[in-house]
Amino acid sequence: MIHVILFRPEKPLNTGNIMRTCMAVKAKLHIIGPISFSLAEKDLKRAGLDYIESLDYTYYENIEEFNKNHRNINIFYISRYGDKVYSSADFSDSINDIYVMFGRESTGIPHDILRANMDRVLRLPMVPNARSLNLSNCVAIVVYEILRQQNFNDLSTSEAIKGENFLEKELDKS
């Protein structure tokens, strides 16, 4: 299972988008607080739509609570300070859980956490003068790379709600 960890997210719209992505790919979301918004806010729900009700997520008051509940796990950290590109990591193991942490929109993951784990700090390539990408976009990019390496494990690769070949059948009706 993929585990997305958000370290003290600041924007409810980003968090809502990430919740929607996690639900759509059956990833577990871990939110580490404290956070400056309510998980019941309308902005969060608007971005996450009705998917939030089906989401598997846990909120932790702080990093210490998260660490206490998740000992001996291997976490990948996404940061502009990483020297390895996210797509160079081997995420192909679909048996063991994969944990990926993303930092705050304004400050990222604390530098002491990154320094202690430099062998697992990954970056998304961008032009040299760009400081960052949108948090929810970063989560989607990395999660879908993990899924791609796992051959989209158990995810539908064709239209399931309206049926396969929906567009062709729609044309036949007109």
Averaged pLDDT of the chain: 90
Q: What is the pLDDT of residue 153?
A: 83
Query: Per-residue confidence of the chain (174 residues) as pLDDT tens digits?
Result: 999 999 999 999 899 899 999 999 999 999 999 998 888 766 566 654 566 778 899 999 999 999 999 998 999 999 999 999 999 999 999 899 999 999 999 999 999 999 999 999 999 999 999 988 999 999 999 999 999 999 998 888 777 778 777 777 777 676
pTM of the predicted model over 0.75: yes
Q: What is the pLDDT of residue 49?
A: 56
Q: What is the pLDDT of residue 41?
A: 61
Tokens linked to 44: 């969060």
With beta carbons less than 8 A apart as the criterion, state whether 39 and 59 touch. yes
Q: What is the pLDDT of residue 174?
A: 63
With beta carbons less than 8 A apart as the criterion, state whether 32 and 60 touch. yes
Q: What is the pLDDT of residue 23?
A: 93
Q: What is the pLDDT of residue 46?
A: 61
What is residue 24's DSSP assignment? H
- Say which residues have a Cβ less than 8 Å from residue 162's Cβ, sequence separation at least 6: none
Q: What is the pLDDT of residue 84?
A: 97
How far is 145 from 152, CA to CA, in rounded Å?
Answer: 9
Single-letter amino acid code for the residue at 82: G
Q: What is the pLDDT of residue 45?
A: 63
How far is 74 from 76, CA to CA, in rounded Å?
Answer: 7
- Give whole-number Cα distances, 10 to 19, 45, 99, 136, in Å: 14, 15, 20, 12
How far is 87 from 124, CA to CA, in rounded Å?
Answer: 8
Q: What is the pLDDT of residue 144?
A: 97
